[in-house]
Amino acid sequence: MKFFLDTANIDQIKKAHEMGIIDGVTTNPSLMAREGIKGEKNILDHYVKICEIVDGDVSAEVISTDFNGMIAEGEKLASLHEQIVVKIPVIESGIKAIRYLADRGIKTNCTLIFNPGQALLAAKAGAGYVSPFIGRLDDIGETGMELIEKLVHIFDIYGFDTEIIAASIRGTHHITRCMEAGVDVATCPLEAITGLLKHPLTDAGLEKFLSDHRKLNG
């Protein structure tokens, strides 16, 4: 399973990259706003900065909702850097834009997926990735992980090349379930990834090893 970092925060991206465990980054307009990045030039420069830190795909989301706007933005974003993947919402004009961009060799990530039908249409249109949102489904009393499990099964049946990015991950429990489900990618906040390292028996075991060493070695 690949790990993408779900943030636009440069310090966190650098930290995760230095740990050697991330395969890419996903951003969205809310994450960019959280970092206070505004104005087209600053936003585009920020995407390039992220690409220069990490080695893998970096999703940059369009803010247009009409077909012409989406493809113009998509082409501009894709021209910024070879690692840019154009993130497009799963609406009718978005599906059309995904097909248009795919036919021109531009990789897309279809976002805001909440049911299997949306994911199927995005895959048929040629999306490189689909991003089903786990946490937001949990928030409304559904079970987001069920959607991930269904999509892994359905994409396997039809043999789509489209990769599934489990998104809107809220903690280590989601990541562990994603590993069990065999999802292609999990895009996560950094604390959810580092949380995987935590186990009280690891801490206690390490303390015991070190204290036994100190007893003999001072």
Span 101-120, contacts to ligand E4P by CB under 6 A:
111
Q: Which of 135, 152, 171, 196 binds ligand E4P (CB under 6 A)?
A: 135
Does 167 participate in binding ligand E4P (rule CB under 6 A)?
yes
Catalytic residue, candidates 87, 107, 150, 215 = 87
Nearer to ligand E4P, 118 or 187 (CB): 187
Span 28-67, contacts to ligand E4P by CB under 6 A:
28
Does 131 participate in binding ligand E4P (rule CB under 6 A)?
yes
Can you spell out the DSSP letters for 25-87? EE--HHHHHHTT--SHHHHHHHHHHHHHH-SSEEEEE----SHHHHHHHHHHHHHH-TTEEEE
Q: Which of 108, 118, 162, 168 binds ligand E4P (CB under 6 A)?
A: 168
87 tagged catalytic: yes
Task: Kindly state the smallest distance separating residue 28's Cβ from ligand E4P, in Å.
Answer: 4
Neighbours of 193 (CB within 10 A): 21
Write b or e for each residue in 73-89: b if 16 or more Cβ atoms lie within 10 A of its Cβ, otherwise e.
Answer: bbeebbeebebbbbbbb
- Which residues are tagged catalytic? 87
